Amino acid sequence: MRGELVAIDLETTGLDVNTDRIIEIGAVRMKEGEVLDEFSELVNPDMHIPERTTLLTGIRTADVADAPRLPEVLPKLLQFVGDLPIVGHSVGFDMSFLNKQGVFTTNTVLDTYDLASVMVPRAPRYNLNSLAVNMGVDLEDAHRALDDARASGIIYWLLYEKTLQLPVTTLRAIVDASQGIEWYARPTFESALTEVLEKAGDTPDDDDDIIEVPSKIAHLRPLYPNDEITPLEVDAVGAVFQRDGELAQEMETFEYRPQQENMARRIAEAFNSGEHLMVEAGTGTGKSMAYLVPAFEWASANNERVVISTDTIALQDQLITKDIPALQESLGIHVNAAVLKGRANYLCPIAVEAMKRRGPTNIEELRVLAKILVWQLESDSGDKTEISLRGGAEHSIWNRLSASENQGCRGNACRDELGFDCPFHQAYKRAEAAHLLIVNHSLLVADAKAENRVLPEYQYIIVDEAHHLEEAVTSSMRFVIDEAAMMRRLDDLGDSRRGLLADLITALRKSDVPEKTTKRIEAFATDVNAAANDMRVHVTGLFKAVKKLARSLTSIKQGDYTVTVRIDEQAREKSAFQKLQQQWEILAQFMEVISEATGELSSVLGKFNEYDIDNYNDLLRSTQTVARYLEDTRTTLHTLVTAPDPNTIYWISVTPDMKRIGLNTAPLHVGPVVTENLWNSKRSAILTSATLRTSGTFDHIRERVHADMVSTYEVGSPFDYKSSTMVFLPTDMPEPRESQTYQQMVEQAILELAVALDGRVMVLFTSYGQLRQTSRIITPVLANQGITVYDQSDGTSRQNLLEGFKTTDKAVLLGTRSFWEGVDVPGESLSALIMARLPFPVPNDPVFAARSDTYENHFNQYAVPEAILRFRQGFGRLIRTKTDRGIVVILDSRITTRSYGASFIDSLPDCTIESAPLNQLAKAARAWLNP
């Protein structure tokens, strides 16, 4: 928006507009990115400034003691701002404090957060500091009002200039979609549209006709295996890894590792004999190369597809962007490689067009739609990983705009209706032509149970990160029902004025469908809408009953993360569950009627393909999707409430504010699924990981995935842990249950070690609660020593935390579950690893509790092996290369005082172990790291 505006930022004592006060006001009058005038005042809030606020802003209570109070400052601010538009970052927060004082209630308000989340759709973070760095804006003193206001104003102008580069069609679509929804970014897009149209004159580039885009996949042909299998020469496969082999000659960084050669040989043998195999490959083996070479050779010799499944995106990226290209060059073998993800990872352009046509129903849908419309201009991948989505609501909306909503679509619809190949269709065609196909664990199972298979045919598979296979299968077979999702589906259904039903009726009226038939469907749609409106009341009633049941089963405190409550036999005996059953009996009648009606409607509509109906394919798919969702939900609720399946786990998930509550189901055993889709259906399946064994055997994972008849093979690590790694076991640590003393000693250990080593410490926790408590104590103390604490509890992404930790000279990283594995910090950036507790599963986790019940001695037979696997993963974060050296500190005394503790120690490689009082830790660490 051109012309003058005022950028505003406030610093406050806290986040609650009702109890907190303003302590600083910064305002900058600007015009087209140039500063015209500035306003800055400290404000006496007549209250103590909390320590956390002082740490963030640098403003102390003493600094504002002689400052004017807010009533004295506001008149000057009013004069400075006048009736000019106000811009700020997450400006709703600032305006809530100002509007409470009765000021600026009529000014136009603009938000750089809302605008940036649309115009910079790939940004990893949208806080002011990150945006300033991303856009090259100098933010000298973050979290001081004047500097933040100035940065907001400059960023606003840069973003507005970007909006002027958008096509008219995109600008108009965003403006049209925002009508009727209060959104602080709308005035900016309206202004940009007006300006672009004025410049374009009477002939703007606004042609909505289909433009045929040349296909990028027309040249791809499906892969067909040779009629006869050509076995691999095992010695030749092994020779690739020898000191004078092809990898040594072509790769500068190659190191000879006999473990890597042996693993590659064993996999080649398994492929030759059609054998299933589990391989544990210690850290540093180079297992990805060890399985890629035989996979390359097999695919090339037999024109056969080999699927490689991973648990993490990071490993997928490593394989496709680094390892496979390096092998292509080193071996001189060209094989096609592709990545295929689940349908939910690919945008469905037709679903986006449908939302544009029907209009978003709330602010969250509007933000996601606008972001996608801009993102589509710069990306044709349609891959979810390339767009920044914030929070559960945005991910949920993405799912409804993804290819997962159109299970029966193979991609032809987009070319027919929009003139180009959809992202999923492109990915699938590349997968069909691939010798090496990279997927994830969840897709393996989701594909197997889908009506229309996503993965092309394959007989050979390598499952890396296989210790996660059971968890991934469980997750992919989980079904979640929540009130918001059910209401959203009813909103999508709509009525005669909006939504799917309105679209359908409008299209039929304009079509050549006989009028009598159209009127019959109109009457039918009216009945469906009436039933849906009644159903809303009973959906609310059902979830009120679910909330009461959750409260009767557990205490839910503010500040907790999502709480899970298992619905077992004891829960079903509660009076609150009887009330839930009564509510379901009422709701079930409405769901049955609507489910059958939408099913019948989709069936009738399916016979109308001979008529000329606008958006026919989209209307048919949308109707089928709603019908399928309602039927699946009705069936699941029936079994959960009325006829529980003994092989299914049921539970409630609820946030502390009770605003998000869900009913969940998952399989009790995944072994039968793995047997059906791997052991019984594939010629050779290889499972590999750095951690597959517990107590020296593969027995635990064999039992979990029904792999009794699968061969096993173990190759140790090439690292010399005896020389590189000290494991320090404090002799005077109390047990974790002695919470106060234990917690104080945890904090002492971190502080002393971090100071002794100038940071370079990673601490692994098993709960967010302990992490938050620890961070609150150690952060200000270490700050005085020039050591920065990066902690996972503030919501920062794992990748950003890792980057901050790696690039900061003196830093400590505090992480929970996601940091126990998949984190790679080689070199001196990480010299010490602390485990606050042994990583036992949470006892009341519904899935863990239900599976525990299937064991006679669930603790030793299930809990301990699961904890050992995670313990070994955590240990593996420290030593990542042959030259690394470090210390692992275990602050859980149970590792030495309980009988099962020896199993944890025995699971580690042969390290140097030192037992001493905690006050000797810093000295021992310095001595070990500086021999």
Which positions are annotated as active-site residues? 143
DSSP 403: G
Pair type for strands 109-111 and 22-31? unpaired
* Number of Cβ within a 10 Å radius of residue 329: 11
Q: Are 501 and 622 in contact (CB under 8 A)?
A: no
Which amino acid is it at 122? R
Q: Could you tell me the CA-to-CA distances from 602 to 405, 500, 598, 611 in Å, in that order?
A: 15, 12, 6, 15
Joined tokens for residue 541: 């009633």
Query: Using alpha carbons only, how large is the chain's radius of gyration in Å?
Result: 30
Helix (H) or strand (E) holding 788: strand 788-791
483-493 vs 515-553: helix crossing angle, rounded to 10:
170
| Residue position matching structure tokens 């473990």 | 259
Q: Which residues, 6 or more positions from 125, have their beta carbon under 8 angstroms from its beta carbon?
A: 131, 388, 796, 797, 800
Report the SS3 class of residue 914.
strand
Helix (H) or strand (E) holding 886: strand 886-890
Q: Measured between alpha carbons, how far is 198 from 182 in angstroms, rounded to an integer?
A: 26
- The number of CA neighbours under 13 Å toward the Cβ of 469 is 33
What per-residue string of b and e applies to 722-761 under the rule 16 or more CB within 10 Å gives b? eebbbbbbbeebeebeeeeebbebbbbbbbbbbbbbebbb
Pair type for strands 711-715 and 277-281? parallel
Q: Are 311 and 472 in contact (CB under 8 A)?
A: yes
Q: Measured between alpha carbons, how far is 785 from 775 in angstroms, rounded to an integer?
A: 15
Q: Closest Cα to residue 113, out of 98, 100, 103, 123?
A: 123
Q: Measured between alpha carbons, how far is 440 from 343 in angstroms, rounded to an integer?
A: 12
Q: Closest Cα to residue 866, out of 716, 692, 648, 727?
A: 692
Report the SS3 class of residue 36.
strand
Q: Could you tell me the CA-to-CA distances from 483 to 324, 544, 632 in Å, in that order?
A: 45, 10, 15
Helix (H) or strand (E) holding 28: strand 22-31
Q: Measured between alpha carbons, how far is 899 from 916 in angstroms, rounded to an integer?
A: 20
Query: Cα-flanking dihedrals φ and ψ of residue 36, to 5°?
Result: -100, -40
Counts of helices then strands in the chain (DSSP H, E):
39, 23
Q: Closest Cα to residue 907, out of 606, 700, 607?
A: 700
The beta strands (E) that lie in 701-775 are given as 711-715, 725-730, 761-764
Max CA distance (Å), the chain: 91
Residues facing residue 916 across a β-bridge: 730
Q: Measured between alpha carbons, how far is 725 from 713 in angstroms, rounded to an integer?
A: 25
First to last CA, the chain: 63
Joined tokens for residue 73: 């400052």
Q: Measured between alpha carbons, how far is 271 from 292 in angstroms, rounded to an integer?
A: 12
